[in-house]
Amino acid sequence: MQLERFASFDGTGLAVHTHGEGRPVVLLHGLFSSSQMNWIKWGHATRLAEAGFRAIMLDFRVHGESDAPRDAASYTPGLLVRDVAALAEHFALEPGTFDLVGFSLGARTAVHTVAHGVLEPRRLAVCGMGVEGLAGWARRADFFKRVIDEFDTIRPGDPAYAARTFLKSQGVDRTAARLLLDAMDDFDLAMLANLTMPTAVICGDEDRDNGSAEDLAALLPDARYIEVPGTHMGSVTKPELGSAIAEFLAA
């Protein structure tokens, strides 16, 4: 496992972890998480490396070992897509020569990136994401903004308590995270027609956090729905997630 840093489009320092040799696969983690928590800790990066891939795992700004600027100017619309584009430029990833995988926020970012023609992966895996997580992002974002805004008063039994606990455990800068949430917007489902590459929509059998993953797969031109065990936060801890990703990308 190797770690390096590079400057994104606006000079923000981003951390990227790499593991393995072979065809590159870019992995994008979920909100308040990191490459370490999403891909490394539970063995998914190792499964991909053993399957002959080079896992390239970005820590989004505000997450993991990347910078978390606190000035509003660092949070312009579309910034995560531009960060992913900067990653692709840093590793000289040419269209059709790499795969792209995202979980939750990472899945949402991957969809935006491909739909807007910023990147052209060979294959795409969208994990922990459904229709509502794309087109109804404002409602989902409001939930996370409440976690930040009411952080000190959320108690056990509150629907937001699990997210609050996870946010605290990851040491995320709440001021920067609030700015990041404000910079994200909804997705036009009509643009799903641009996702023409083979796509896997992978989701836990108890995960409804972002709406129906099956419905999302049905809207895509060339997609299959793959079910793995677990809830939204639990599915990422299961070996079946990494195995499903590796098997799909190796096909």
Specify the CATH number for the domain of residue 115: 3.40.50.1820
Whether 17 maps to a domain, the answer reads yes
The number of folded domains in the chain is: 1
Residues of the chain with pLDDT under 70: none
Q: Would you state the structure tokens that stand for residue 55, as one six-digit string?
A: 């896992």
pLDDT of residue 139: 87
Alpha helices in 13-135 (DSSP H): 35, 44-50, 79-90, 105-115, 131-135
Q: How far apart are CA 165 and CA 168, in angstroms?
A: 5
Q: How far apart are CA 187 and CA 81, in angstroms?
A: 13
The proportion of the chain whose per-residue pLDDT surpasses 90, expressed as a percent, equals 96
Whether 101 maps to a domain, the answer reads yes
Query: Is this prediction's pTM over 0.95?
Result: yes
Whether 49 maps to a domain, the answer reads yes
- Do residues 105 and 178 make contact, with C-beta atoms less than 8 angstroms apart? no
CA dihedral 24, 104, 238, 88 (to 10 degrees): 10
Whether 142 maps to a domain, the answer reads no
Q: In what order do the strands lie in the sheet with 2-7?
A: 2-7, 13-19, 53-58, 23-28, 99-103, 124-127, 199-204, 223-228
Whether 126 maps to a domain, the answer reads yes
Residue-number span of the structural domain to which 212 is assigned: 2-135+186-250
CA dihedral 117, 212, 181, 108 (to 10 degrees): -20
Whether 15 maps to a domain, the answer reads yes
